[in-house]
Structure 1
């Protein structure tokens, strides 16, 4: 007897995603750590010739003969981010999003994201999900994985630039792995985002008893055990990216950067350990971009690749978080070393966390079941 050809999948709205556990940051950090182990051992695929591409992006020209074509305003793009992840996940998926910074004027998030999860065998859809929370939590969880292996265990002071969504989820992940944190220094661009963050902070982490709002990046960095830049801003001029100067950084600090960042010359020296979340991801970016690549992708890991090309560091000096998580390279070696880590964001992260949330939803009976077909017309 032949197998059924019927294909159903579930739709998960944002409230459904919350019910299924998408905001469980400790579980997300653990899932991302598991993902890094699979990443290092090669049990994954992403797009591109080297299977490490961030994704495929649609951008818009400065001038067009078509009056209705979108203009290339700040952060105006569409992007597809596909991946496969093995291990206990063994699923494929794709995050699809459009981004427009002008959305904020309409009361909408800058980016609006959805995610589709597929069976790795038949390729049939398993779920179609609201993905803003999925993406925000998996992005924030990566600094948590880094801090688990690279921050001092007694870290107490966090310095944060950019108290927006990424700032919140990053702090949540840091709190999950560094429970002694009791102090935060914050630099914000606007009062609204700062007020929102402070209100959220008081409700979410009352154990953070020392909150200092500062006016400069230097004040954020000085004295902090963990530093993170989660700001948004325009790309194209590295001199305008938020800088880290060696003289500001205390011995033993861990700096984790999921947003734009530049370093002074002293931070480029070889005694500062430089880590990326996936070496192949940055190599793929570097192959695709004009040089210097940091002009076009403002992440500090791209600057590391520019430094290798310029002879300022060797490829062997660039460390991979997956190798550290897998136990094949050391994490923090001593209490005084300074470590800076770049967070690029990868679709395998969406697949990992999306698979966990999908399975939670099935187990708990969450979501709306939709039918693709009972019997396909064409086969």
Structure 2
């Protein structure tokens, strides 16, 4: 193949190339732009398909959409295989398929594993940038799995944190977060969930829990919480009463109430769909966001297909420009 990738054909961008070509800054900008486009009505997500396949305890599905502003069209196919860690593989497995919105032709196949972690971290960091108190000093991390280190690095770029407090149901996994904190020059302490709530100014939850890990009365006034793990019916990371106490924001309101953290608070009648604000409205300046330093703000980050398309489009574009990847033709 020529060293310069031809501009026609389908570019295949593998996982290693994704790591080379897209940064946290790129992901933050792409996710912020697509949230803003969604709030303006310039982009929309298609209905999510997510099913237990009855094999390997796996969840598999599709997320897709179209962004008229960014001209991103496509889908992410993949899911969650809980046994993969024991095989030396990432539990989340996915591939993004991008299509030319002018012709419908397949334009790129992009590895989705690294980008999923990157865009999820970008989503929570966008919420921190727009909703957390400016003087936040302590970051709380609930969860220490694969995505937690991405979350920690992205969050640390949004505020001048001095310390990380963390809890994980399997405490032996905490050293991976401690190592990242040390790399960032931040103090680190493993704590109980209740103590985490007592210390943290910003909290990120990134688990696969199906029951509350943080109770409402543990959270201090002025805290910002980014709930990033709940993306399926039945999953849950926080006390539903916490959403009733908080100003609630979401990547997409409809998905928040159906498969996000808000599903439980809505089902119990504690909040309604109208109580949730798209974070894109804050980005666009049509909603003030945090009203006072003492408010609790909560971001329900369910993960929308447009996030994947946005970062994958950036990765595919840069790969073409740098002559990376492989170009193939279907016919």
The answer to whether the superposition gives a TM-score over 0.5 is yes
Paired position in structure 2 for 1:288: none
Paired position in structure 1 for 2:233: none
Aligned equivalents of 1:303, 1:276: Cα separation in 2: 15
Paired position in structure 2 for 1:80: 62
2:90 paired with 1:109: yes
> Which one of the candidate residues 255, 261, 264 is aligned to 1:300?
261
Aligned equivalents of 1:160, 1:282: Cα separation in 2: 21
TM-superposed deviation, 1:181: 0.7
**Counterpart mapping for 1:272-287 below 5 A:** 272-283=246-257, 285=258
Paired position in structure 2 for 1:149: 130
**Counterpart mapping for 1:125-204 below 5 A:** 125-178=106-159, 180-203=160-183
Paired position in structure 2 for 1:57: 50
Aligned equivalents of 2:153, 2:310: Cα separation in 1: 19
Aligned equivalents of 2:247, 2:171: Cα separation in 1: 35
TM-superposed deviation, 1:92: 0.8
Please say if residues 187 and 220 of structure 1, whose CA atoms lie closer than 8 Å, have aligned partners that are also in contact: yes
2:206 paired with 1:230: yes
Aligned equivalents of 2:265, 2:30: Cα separation in 1: 27
TM-superposed deviation, 1:138: 0.5
Paired position in structure 2 for 1:211: 188
Aligned equivalents of 1:318, 1:98: Cα separation in 2: 27
> Which one of the candidate residues 218, 223, 228 is aligned to 1:253?
223
Paired position in structure 1 for 2:301: 343
**Cα 1:58–1:99 shift into 2, 3 Å:** same
- 3-state DSSP class of the match of 1:340? strand
Aligned equivalents of 1:253, 1:145: Cα separation in 2: 16
**Counterpart mapping for 1:317-336 below 5 A:** 317-336=275-294
Please say if residues 163 and 197 of structure 1, whose CA atoms lie closer than 8 Å, have aligned partners that are also in contact: yes
Please say if residues 207 and 237 of structure 2, whose CA atoms lie closer than 8 Å, have aligned partners that are also in contact: no
Structure 1: 5+ residue stretches without partners: 1-5, 48-52, 62-69, 286-296, 374-379
Please say if residues 276 and 301 of structure 1, whose CA atoms lie closer than 8 Å, have aligned partners that are also in contact: no
Aligned equivalents of 2:290, 2:82: Cα separation in 1: 38
Please say if residues 145 and 207 of structure 2, whose CA atoms lie closer than 8 Å, have aligned partners that are also in contact: yes
Please say if residues 93 and 116 of structure 1, whose CA atoms lie closer than 8 Å, have aligned partners that are also in contact: yes
**Cα 1:268–1:200 shift into 2, 3 Å:** closer
Please say if residues 274 and 340 of structure 1, whose CA atoms lie closer than 8 Å, have aligned partners that are also in contact: yes
TM-superposed deviation, 1:91: 2.1
Structure 2: 5+ residue stretches without partners: 1-6, 230-235
TM-superposed deviation, 1:305: 2.6
**Cα 1:268–1:133 shift into 2, 3 Å:** closer
TM-superposed deviation, 1:268: 4.8
Aligned equivalents of 1:46, 1:172: Cα separation in 2: 28
TM-superposed deviation, 1:264: 6.0
Please say if residues 26 and 176 of structure 1, whose CA atoms lie closer than 8 Å, have aligned partners that are also in contact: no
Paired position in structure 1 for 2:30: 31
- 3-state DSSP class of the match of 2:83? helix
Compute the TM-score of the two structures, normalised by the length of structure 1: 0.79
Q: Deviations over 1:96-138 (max 9, x none)?
A: 1142211122111112111111111111111111110111111
